[in-house]
Amino acid sequence: MNKAQLIDAIASGANMTKTDASKALGSMMGAVTNSLKKGDRVSFPGFGTFSISDRKARQGRNPRTGEVITIKAKKVVKFKPSSKLVF
């Protein structure tokens, strides 16, 4: 499912226009992004939890040359699905 398909699903499920669904999705994604930037966890019961994790600097190799390179430390988003999220 891509963003356009998700907007269509939201619009039909909530009985709203695609424009309103797009605004709602954008607002939700912005709120999640801002919370994660602050270092907060974002939890959706029955779906899962988004959190920020620190990834340490590490050694890697350039696949073309085989040269050893240092990959910088960074923060990454992690997602832990809820146990209720089943297929």
- Per the structure, how many domains does the chain have? 1
Q: Please report the pLDDT score of residue 86 as a whole number.
A: 80
DSSP per-residue letters across 46-71: TTEEEEEEEE--EEEE-TTT--EEEE
How many residues are given for the chain?
87
Residue 86 is assigned to a structural domain of this protein: no
pTM of the predicted protein model: 0.77
User: Domain with 31 in it: what CATH number?
Assistant: 4.10.520.10
Listed residue (19, 31, 25) closest to 6, CA to CA: 25
Q: Please report the pLDDT score of residue 87 as a whole number.
A: 76
H or E segment at 75? strand 74-81
Residue 71 is assigned to a structural domain of this protein: yes
pLDDT over threshold 90, residue 77: yes
Which tens digits make up the pLDDT trace of 23-75? 999 999 999 999 999 999 999 999 999 999 999 999 999 999 999 999 999 99
Residue 87 is assigned to a structural domain of this protein: no
Residue 74 is assigned to a structural domain of this protein: yes
Residue 36 is assigned to a structural domain of this protein: yes
Range(s) of the domain holding residue 19: 3-81
Q: Please report the pLDDT score of residue 61 as a whole number.
A: 95
